[in-house]
Structures are given as C-alpha cells and as structure tokens.
Amino acid sequence: MATWSNLNLQNSASPLMEQIIFFHDHTLVILIMITILVSYLMINLFFNNYINRFLLEGQLIELIWTIIPAITLIFIALPSLRLLYLLDEMNNPLITLKSIGHQWYWSYEFSDFNNIEFDSYMINYEKDNLNNFRLLDVDNRIILPMNNQIRILITATDVIHSWTIPSLGIKIDANPGRLNQGSLFINRPGIFFGQCSEICGANHSFMPIVIESISIKNFINWINNYS
C-alpha cells in the first residue's frame, strides 16, 4: 500500500507488476543518461567562443545524431514489446471473478462456486479504531488464492468506473453494457488496496477495492464456509 512518503511505485505482488517496475527503471536510466548528455552539450555551447567559418554542412554528425536515437528507441521498444506479450489474456484460468461497479460501491460474483455474490462497501473511518485504513477498508474483501491464474470480468450498472489495484498492475474500465476481461496472478499472500480510478460522481473517492490473498487450502475452506 502506498504511504504519504512513498514517491516510488508500490511493491509488486504479481509477475506483471514486477516487470512493469523493471521496465520503468530501465526507461528511467536511459532518460537520465540522455538528459545528462544533452545538458552537457548545451552548457558547452553556451560557453564556447569558437566559430567555424567554413562549416557549411555536417553530414557525418547528422548521421550520428540520427542513428543514436534510433538505437536508443530499440533499447526501449524491445522490453516494451515483451511486456505487451505478458499482458495477453490467459487460456485456462482457475477461477473467474466478476466485478460490477455501482454508484458508489462494488459487487462481486464467484460464478464458479454456486453463484457466490456479495457487495463491498467502504467502512467508515473511526478514530478509536486504528486498525482501519481511512477511505481504503471495506466490509467484504475479495478473497483470492495466490499462485493461481485468475480471470476477472468487469462491468458497471450506471456510469463508467475503473477497477484498479496498483500493486498488481491492473487497471480496467468498468463500462455499462460492456464486459471487459483481465487476468491476475498474485505471487504472495497479503492484503492489497485499490480504488476506482474513473471520476464517477459525488462519492467517487468512497468506493475502494480490497483483495486478500491466501493459500489455496484456506481459499477452499472459505468457499465451503461461505456456501
């Protein structure tokens, strides 16, 4: 979960988010190197008093400053293409979770298990209870097993919402009358927070998302107890 002093991306809880963070760092290093090089050349130009009167054209230097950016773009494009392939949808998911956005709460369905359905509302923050996270905790969390392929179907009943979990690297729009599909793979246990990322009305900031990742054995016990 992000905190007030956290300037970086959240710690990853899925292979996809891990690769996104690696790609972010890789691109940032390249951008810093370009910025330093261009800044150095500009400073040198400002303090350079020499003028070449006979310089009419410089085909060699133009060739160099055309080839170098092309090579730089290749170093950025190849990891980006790899990341796009990782975003592809899976073939054999273990569980399908359906998420439905409302004004202003989420409802969920586990249609694989005798149509388990529940609504998820934000818990009001109380100063006396320090265990709750302000504007982030809900009364019914999404329980999902870790280390398993999970398909998520997302839609809405009224206006456009956006189902977002930053630490899992997933952000999918919930459009009324349309079913969007995404995939999850959580590689560690924990509680992961998210929020609606589409301005959907007066209480847009009061419909958080909470996923609790547990082992497959505990998940089966939860399903049996819920049924």
What does the pLDDT profile of the chain (227 residues) look like in tens digits? 667 777 788 888 888 888 889 999 999 999 999 999 999 989 988 888 777 777 777 788 888 888 999 999 999 998 888 888 877 766 788 888 999 999 889 999 988 887 788 999 998 876 656 677 788 889 889 999 998 889 999 999 989 999 999 998 889 999 998 999 888 889 989 899 999 998 988 888 899 999 999 999 998 888 888 76
- Do 78 and 100 fall into the same domain? no
- Do 128 and 216 fall into the same domain? yes
CA dist 46 and 28 (Å) reads: 27
Domain of residue 109, CATH code: 2.60.40.420
- Do 50 and 110 fall into the same domain? no
Find where tokens 């730089």 sit. Answer: 72
- Do 216 and 158 fall into the same domain? yes
CA angle 76, 78, 80 (to 5 degrees): 70
Buried b (16+ CB within 10 A) or exposed e, 24-41: eeeeeeeeeeeeeeeeee
Q: Evaluate if pTM is beyond 0.85.
A: no
- What domain range is 57 assigned to? 15-88
> What pLDDT does residue 129 have?
66
- Do 21 and 120 fall into the same domain? no
